[in-house]
Structure 1
Amino acid sequence: MLNKEEGQWNLANRTVLEGKVIERWAVLDFSSYDRRFKPNSLIYNKFVQKLTMRCKKLGIHMKNPLFRELSDMRVLSDTDRLRKLLNHVYDEANHRLQILVCIMLDKHPGYNALKWICETQVGIVTELCLSKQCNMGKDHYMTNLALQINTKLGGSNFELFDPIPRLESDDHVMFIGADVNNPSPGIASSPSAAAVVATVNWPAANKYVGRYRLQKHRTEKIEDFGEMCLELINKYAELNKVKPKKIIVFRDGVSNSQFDMVLDEELVDLKNAIHCDGYSPTITLMIAQKRHLTRLFPMDNKQGVRNSNVFPGTVVDTTIVHPWKFDFYLCSHYGILGTSKPTRYYCLHDDHSFSLDDLQQLTYNLCYTHARCSKPVSLVPPAYYANTLAYRVQQYYEAWEAAATVSSSNFPLQFDSNIFKLHGDLENIMFFC
């Protein structure tokens, strides 16, 4: 049942839209050997029972794990040992492991190395969680865990009930999200990570595939934008036997001063890459901005929710926006704590002749389709996922850099982008979710 005030729904006594059959999975328990934290180690049988039962109730058919591999947190600090351990686990499953659930005692820098090795070298989908949360086994935590696992394995959790406005025709539509993650301030040489994600199903538009590149330090322009988009369009055509006729791009992370760069370089690069053999889809290009100081407040209690935030779905498109250009502020989510920050959306290019109301409704509806949330998110999912993937790639680089510093004999100090190339088994799933 949808809570209209908060915009969220309850998954009690409900199932996901498409639950995967999970027959081959294992547990890698980093909490088992460290005596200092023995009281917090994983209560294995209890965890497995609660997870499999919660999956069953959600319509995700999860069998018992194939095996449990015991380890300790110190392995996460040694990239060589960690790589050997992960390869051993994969061999133990005869290279047919659907997902590896990794249990850690607490947050650890080795998380980056584990993701880098699994997703670029071994080819394992992973789900990481803390032993304390697993042992508590609260229903909402197990539900979130089940939703993430189902998504990463190609399942579908939620779908919009009504068609997306102005896109109800039979024409195939692809939503693209793009973002660049830059190194932390003070780091002078690390590359930036550019990521592009796109939907590969229609009309549900809730399954994404991602592509990424490392590029020059603090370069905001996505250098291979057209090439990555072409790869995603070809994947869409492979899965659906037809290319999308309409493309809607959400570009995250650019300031007003970079709009010309997006229009004159990235958009042109996209068109040059995909326009061939008579294929020329219509394109709408939107900018999503979170870095601003604008906040929205209700005039009285009737215009807001209990914590003095505006209702989810509140839009402002007058007074504080550009006097004649196509922009609006949308507060799509329910703020649990503090003052909600709306996202500013700016339409730079539109081949579809959308009205402002059309774009607002389309963007807000998409915010309900994030795979892990039973409520609308604060940033439209294509941009949200692109941001997540770009950050993951930055983690790959940090893991390689840390390993190279410790053991230069085993890791090339000279930068080579092939070190970060995604494993082929993970190319067409939402491993980054």
Structure 2
Amino acid sequence: MSGRGWQMELLRNMGRSAATTEVSGEKSTESGIQSGEQGDQTRGQSDGSKEQKTSKDSGEESLNSSSQGRGRKMQMALERHLSTQLISKQDAPETTAETPRGQGRGDMLRRAMEASLSVARQYHKDKAPSSVEEVTKKMDTVALLEQAKTTEPQEPVLYRGTKGVMVTALSNYLPLEWMSDKRIYEYSVYFEPLVDSIHLRVKIIGQLQAEIGSVFVFSGFNVYLPRKLDPVKVMHTKLAATQDTIKVTMKLIKVKPEEELAPFLNNLFNKIMRELKFVRHKRKQFDPTKAKIVPQHKLEIWPGYVTAVDTFEGVTVTALSNYLPLEWMSDKRIYEYSVYFEPLVDSIHLRVKIIGQLQAEIGSVFVFSGFNVYLPRKLDPVKVMHTKLAATQDTIKVTMKLIKVKPEEELAPFLNNLFNKIMRELKFHKLEIWPGYVTAVDTFEGGLMLNLDVSHRRLSTMTIHEFMTDIYQRYKADFHKKVKEALIGKIVLTRYNNETYRIDEVDFTLNPRGKFKRGEEEISYVEYYRRNYNITIRDLEQPLLLSFKQVRVSGSEKKQERITCLIPELCYMTGLTDEQMNNTNLKRDLAPYVTVSPHHRVDGLRKFLANVRECAAARKVLEDWGLELAPDVINLESRELGVQQVSFNEYTAKAGIQADFSRDATSKHVLTTIPFNTWAIVYVERNKNEAITFMNHVQRNAPQLGMTMKNPQHVVLRSDTNQEFIKQINQVITSTPGLSIVVTIFPTQRGDLYAAVKKVCCYQNPVPSQVIMARTLGQSNESKVRSIVMKILLQMNCKVGGTLWSINIPMGGTMICGVDAYHDPAQRSASVTGFVASSNSTFTRWYSTAIIQNIREEVSRSLGLAIKEALIAYRQGNGCLPERIVIFRDGIGDGQLPLCENFEVPQLIEAAKSLYPANGEPKLTYVVTQKRINTRFFRQSGGKIDNPAPGTVVDHSVTRRYMMDFFLISQNVRQGTVTPSHYIVVYDSANLKPDVVQQLAYKLTFMYYNWPGTIRVPACCQYAHKLAYLVGEHVKKEPAKELQDKLFYL
């Protein structure tokens, strides 16, 4: 057992012994009750940062070492243990007259620690301390150091490819630079008496601005400042509610290095966006003043931006992207301070208020996360201030302790908040179509970058009440069911406060006349909206919409469920409904509003830069923190991997610059075919003409593709009920030996019928199936119908085990896998992981399986079994096991990368080992594929800005430090701006070169048999996605093993 084992045992047992307050889920309205600045709720987030010690010879541990993080966690555990004794709610008195400070709490603390130590000593006899005093001494060694340590940044590892032609491109990244005299100082904050409420801590720190300055960020534990205070600064303030005095001690931790600044800078840029008068929805910022109305569809479109700050690798580049370099002024740094409130302040909202009251001491320029404060100037290493709670006049003591100067790689979250503030100053509001931006700051190989992208928000001008009325008029008998089907899982906007909520339930037993408790009084929803928003609710009988949210409550280790009740006539649907998504006229009408060409997108990015330069308040936010925004988006070099050749049965075609081979795919013999000797076609009597049309095209065009198709068995139905379809399909399957496929013509588009047919054909009576809509065959345009039937024939050939084309991938002895997950939007059904693995040397045949798992569970627990079955199938087809396995994992965000590396990869390795002889396991490469990103690249030629060509790779400057990753543009788009995919190599025991991974990823984008061209991700990922979606959305059970060697889900 490691040396830290006793400490973890201590914390766990203290958590068990600590008194907690049970808080039940409460119903509230959506405004006011849940308001408050959101802070970083991860306690001690930056304290355990993985940095080297400044001096290896010193016996004193660096504040950046892991022991400092452990000490901080132990201290926070002690604070949590005492929290319920000190504060019950955010405005409750923080101390009581009956319990002298330090006396009753000290007894409780000692009893808790002694009980926990007795358990820890049972399991860690040689490591656990012998007494409470020894624990306290160890904690003091960590928590009370006065001198901040600096660390040498780790040099980034460069993973570069060399293949392809070098081309010039632009990106949507802006470099950020610090002013030469600026640093970010991190201070830990201690409150005496202890303040558990985050909200109250924020308030206390806010009251200390006279001592620490008004420019700071407080995370709830640490304070970040742009100026240096004393190493230890002690301040006093009073709680407004009770007038109790709080002693706040701030101790310098460190000057934040660049690689740690990304979270801090993202917060800072959120602030900048507010200064620009943008309104934020998640990571997007919108401008409602430029809403574009689409009246014929009752829609509004809000233009906006997406921003992100991160840190990249630093090289000289020549291409255009949507990244803007950020530069620090030479004299600027970001200082991170931990913040402690005495008495404890549990409420984040109250903590923010308290910190806001301290501007006279800390300055007006700061960012407070709810735990830590970030400042552009250095205060004392420990700064103690006092302020009073406005509501009670209680004195709060706020102690800010310098943690460190934030390194650049840690500044991304901070800068994102800063740009949110800038967007508000630019007068962007969250939402109608609304124009806007998405912004984010992060640390990349090229240093700190602001990622900026143009965004649009679609918003219905029809209220949910009107939407429900429309449903009632169409489905009176089944109104409740249809309303829930249409609304649950959707996101709505309340215009009176520009907030969005997810609908989790529609409660027909509630109405606006109902009352809820607000403070000490009970108030009806009708009266609440009249008082607070001057809104008169008209329909007093309408049901209420419920939105569930998990929130952390003081005194409880588990999150509690908070229920927000919404009024339908005050809510508006965001995005598009399922019906609107299938409306081709709507899509055509929206295209001019939301399709942004590369030229206009770059113009939008440059317009944002001009807005920031022209807005004095936004400029001041940057200058206060010592930041300078680059004058233009970053240029960089990219590589084009070149034109690929596609092989059919006896013909090889060049895909061309646009990677399109659709003409060859529908005119040449496919690679391999399966004879259709016995098959069936099922349709209702009134669709007989459509069935004849289909068969005529099949007989004329199947030979052109090299397919042999005998006449099918016709099954004509007398009615179009689900029961009739299922009965006849079951009958034809059971009565026809060797049936290849069942083709079903649907009279109309019906999700329930589709699901019923797929359930029968996927697991009840497994056989490949093909569904065709009657209207696609009933068109008057003969040429269009022919094209549709040709594509259906190609699908049918794949579903029965045939292959269409191949591309040269010289990687013998390799099995390539794709993994993706499906989650039910309404969170009512289980999640499904699709797993697909190649089973031959040309990567044209695939073994497929679906894994049912817990709701919203992204990381699968059953991949080991899936890969074991895939390896067995590979051995059966090739006579041996593969030498290497390459897995492309889709659907994983940055926050889940450690879970993949530490959870999915080990189970895959262990499962594979069981089939190989000793020391003979295969080499494994695990690559995460990310599609939902805001990175954009643009090709610039002769003053014209266009999309890069398919096969364009960018693997430097805007890629991650310390990771092997790259961006690949694989597909061609005819309208709008192309979106690259981001590939991250999480694990690689095969030691594949960057060129190999890049070319493999690109070649696999040609191998998706539903599209004669390239797609955004490797074909194995798209197959996994299609399989997971079919099972999760319709089938609901794992498909039969008889279908696992076929692409039955296309």
- Give the TM-score of the pair, scaled to structure 2: 0.36
- Residue aligning to 2:701: 54
Query: How many Å separate the matches in 2 of 1:424 and 1:52?
Result: 32
Query: How many Å separate the matches in 2 of 1:72 and 1:375?
Result: 40
**Normalized per residue, which structure has more strand?**
2
Tell me the amino acid that sits aligned with residue 120 of structure 1.
Y
Q: Does 1:194 align with 2:833?
A: yes
- Residue aligning to 1:240: 878
Runs of 4+ in 1 over 6 A off after TM superposition: 301-304
After superposition, residues 7-26 of structure 1 pair within 5 angstroms as: 7-9=659-661, 10-11=663-664, 13-26=667-680
Q: Does 1:96 align with 2:742?
A: no
Query: How many Å separate the matches in 1 of 2:1023 and 2:741?
Result: 20
Query: How many Å separate the matches in 2 of 1:83 and 1:363?
Result: 41
- 1:284 is paired with a residue whose SS is strand
Change over 3 Å in CA distance of 1:64–1:285 after alignment to 2: same
After superposition, residues 102-113 of structure 1 pair within 5 angstroms as: 102-109=744-751, 110-113=753-756
Of 1002, 1005, 1009 in structure 2, the residue corresponding to residue 364 of structure 1 is 1002
- Residue aligning to 2:1048: 431
- 1:373 is paired with a residue whose SS is coil
- 2:875 is paired with a residue whose SS is helix
Tell me the amino acid that sits aligned with residue 739 of structure 2.
L
Query: How many Å separate the matches in 2 of 1:46 and 1:131?
Result: 10
- Residue aligning to 1:404: none
Contiguous gaps of at least 5 residues in structure 1:
399-419
- Residue aligning to 2:1018: 380
- 2:713 is paired with a residue whose SS is coil
Query: How many Å separate the matches in 2 of 1:318 and 1:303?
Result: 24
Aligned length: 388
Of 692, 709, 729 in structure 2, the residue corresponding to residue 86 of structure 1 is 729
Query: How many Å separate the matches in 2 of 1:52 and 1:346?
Result: 47
Tell me the amino acid that sits aligned with residue 822 of structure 2.
N
Change over 3 Å in CA distance of 1:253–1:26 after alignment to 2: same
Of 64, 80, 83 in structure 1, the residue corresponding to residue 711 of structure 2 is 64
Q: Does 1:134 align with 2:777?
A: yes
- 2:855 is paired with a residue whose SS is coil
Query: How many Å separate the matches in 2 of 1:250 and 1:42?
Result: 44
8 A contact 2:864–2:910 mirrored in 1: yes
Query: How many Å separate the matches in 2 of 1:269 and 1:245?
Result: 18
Query: How many Å separate the matches in 2 of 1:302 and 1:152?
Result: 47
Tell me the amino acid that sits aligned with residue 47 of structure 1.
F
Structure whose CA Rg is larger: 2
**What displacement does 1:366 show?**
1.1
- 1:377 is paired with a residue whose SS is coil
**What displacement does 1:426 show?**
1.5
**What displacement does 1:361 show?**
0.9
- Residue aligning to 2:557: none
**What displacement does 1:215 show?**
0.9
Q: Does 1:115 align with 2:758?
A: yes
- 2:939 is paired with a residue whose SS is coil
In terms of mean alpha carbon deviation, does 15-24 or 134-143 score higher? 134-143
Of all paired residues, the percent bearing the same amino acid is 24
- 1:145 is paired with a residue whose SS is helix
8 A contact 2:924–2:989 mirrored in 1: yes
- Residue aligning to 1:261: 899
8 A contact 1:69–1:89 mirrored in 2: no
Query: How many Å separate the matches in 1 of 2:961 and 2:717?
Result: 62
Q: Does 1:346 align with 2:987?
A: no
Query: How many Å separate the matches in 2 of 1:84 and 1:66?
Result: 16
Query: How many Å separate the matches in 1 of 2:699 and 2:907?
Result: 47
8 A contact 1:206–1:371 mirrored in 2: no
Change over 3 Å in CA distance of 1:262–1:105 after alignment to 2: same
- Give the TM-score of the pair, scaled to structure 1: 0.84
Change over 3 Å in CA distance of 1:183–1:141 after alignment to 2: same
8 A contact 1:210–1:427 mirrored in 2: yes
What do the CA deviations read for 1:117-161 (whole angstroms, capped 9, x no partner)? Answer: 21110112111111222234533212211111111111110011x
Query: How many Å separate the matches in 2 of 1:351 and 1:361?
Result: 18
**What displacement does 1:315 show?**
1.3
**What displacement does 1:397 show?**
5.2
In terms of mean alpha carbon deviation, does 339-348 or 81-90 score higher? 81-90
Q: What is the RMSD of the two structures over their aligned residues, measured on CA atoms?
A: 2.0
What do the CA deviations read for 1:225-270 (whole angstroms, capped 9, x no partner)? Answer: 1011101110111122111111000011011111111111111001
Q: Does 1:28 align with 2:674?
A: no
- Residue aligning to 1:287: 928
What do the CA deviations read for 1:80-118 (whole angstroms, capped 9, x no partner)? Answer: x443222112134x2421011111133211212211221
Query: How many Å separate the matches in 2 of 1:66 and 1:295?
Result: 51
**What displacement does 1:6 show?**
1.4
Change over 3 Å in CA distance of 1:90–1:158 after alignment to 2: same
- 1:29 is paired with a residue whose SS is strand
Q: Does 1:176 align with 2:830?
A: no
Tell me the amino acid that sits aligned with residue 106 of structure 1.
T
- 2:936 is paired with a residue whose SS is coil
Query: How many Å separate the matches in 2 of 1:89 and 1:285?
Result: 44
In terms of mean alpha carbon deviation, does 369-378 or 229-238 score higher? 369-378
After superposition, residues 317-336 of structure 1 pair within 5 angstroms as: 317-336=955-974
After superposition, residues 137-152 of structure 1 pair within 5 angstroms as: 138=784, 139-152=786-799
Query: How many Å separate the matches in 1 of 2:930 and 2:741?
Result: 34
**What displacement does 1:273 show?**
1.1
